[in-house]
Amino acid sequence: MVNSGQSRLKIQTTLTPVLVALQALACGRSAERPSESQKDHPAYARSVSAIARRQAADDSVAVPGARSILLTEGAKSPRVLVLLHGLTDSPRQFEALAYLMHADGNTVYVPRLPRHALRGGNVGALSALTDQELLAAADSIVDEARGLGDSLVVVGLSMGATMGAWIAQEREVTRVVLIAPAIEPGRIPSMLDRPLIGLADHLPTIARASSPDTMRPDREAGFNLRAAAEIFELGSFVLREAASKAPRTRDIVVLVNASDRTVKESATEALAREWSRRGARVSLFELPDSLRLQHNIVDPIRGRVGGAAVLTLIRELTYGLPPTALVSRISIS
């Protein structure tokens, strides 16, 4: 059951100053400090080099501050966390969480996803995004992160969670945490999903730009129908694959949001049931409608609960801990 509002307020109040302090501490030290131990761990050195190449490519095309993030102490760690951001966003979406989890002793990697946060770009530029591009990015990101530590946990939000669902189905990692994955669009009857997604994929660019946020030039303000269709195409592929074979990852955590109208909760639950039916350990949690949280629960935060309480929840799910607040568990048996 959902814990009391008093408990949530206590979490927010006590954790927020800690978050600020941890971020300041982490920012004050090298995030990518070289180490002699790299000579003893060639896989680690290869991962760092691959991510450095990605960051160099980011710097050539992305707005300042939007490059892929790597937080490491210069050697392999027991646990590596990969955080995959959502549509129209950038690695900055997970920046606070990344520093918090790095302070816990983890190596953290937050890649910039294809065609996002480009200099001079806008939401219309995302029309070139394809499901195959997202699939290939998910595959390469796992390869890049694999050598950074012993266990690998992938966390994704929305588009990033759809990529995470593909990783759970096709790649073997320690755990995958999916936050509001885009498997099917919300507000549309399931029988119409496929034809509408197929139609949107072949239409001219349909994008709606919003007023840009001068404080976040890394975020493409607005919505792009064709890009969304490609994400749902990938989600549909994962759902079909899950119906025919077991996922390679055996520990999967799913978080849905009852007040979310952007994606269809029932489709995500169907995917969780397919995975569970084929032997994976699947935990499904729901944020209640009473919290009035939007689809993007990480950034920006709106509603009755947000900020540190949400970060605490994601942190617990990432570490495989029972959540202490906000959510209820949904049976998928």
Asked which of 191-205, 256-270, 282-296 is least confident by mean pLDDT, the reply is 191-205
Query: Where do the domains of the chain lie, and which CATH numbers do they carry?
Result: 5-330 (3.40.50.1820)
91 pLDDT more than 70: yes
64 pLDDT more than 90: yes
Q: Is 185 within 8 Å of 228 (Cβ atoms)?
A: yes
Confidence at residue 1, expressed as pLDDT on a 0 to 100 scale? 39
Confidence at residue 308, expressed as pLDDT on a 0 to 100 scale? 84
Cα separation, 131 vs 177, whole angstroms: 20
Cα separation, 312 vs 324, whole angstroms: 9
Tens of pLDDT along 204-218? 555 555 556 666 767
- Reduced to 3 states, what is the DSSP secondary structure of residue 25? helix
Instruction: Label residue 121 by pLDDT band (50, 70, 90).
Output: confident
119 pLDDT more than 70: yes
Q: What angle do CA 198, 203, 208 make, to 5 degrees?
A: 110
Tens of pLDDT along 290-325? 998 989 999 754 444 457 889 999 999 999 999 999
CA torsion through residues 182, 185, 189, 190, sign: negative
Predicted TM-score (pTM) of the model is: 0.84
Give the ranges where the chain is alpha helix by DSSP (H).
5-27, 42-61, 95-103, 131-146, 159-170, 190-202, 225-242, 265-277, 308-318
Query: What is the rounded end-to-end Cα distance, in angstroms, of the chain?
Result: 18
19 pLDDT more than 60: no
Virtual CA dihedral for 45, 51, 56, 62, nearest 10 degrees? Answer: -170
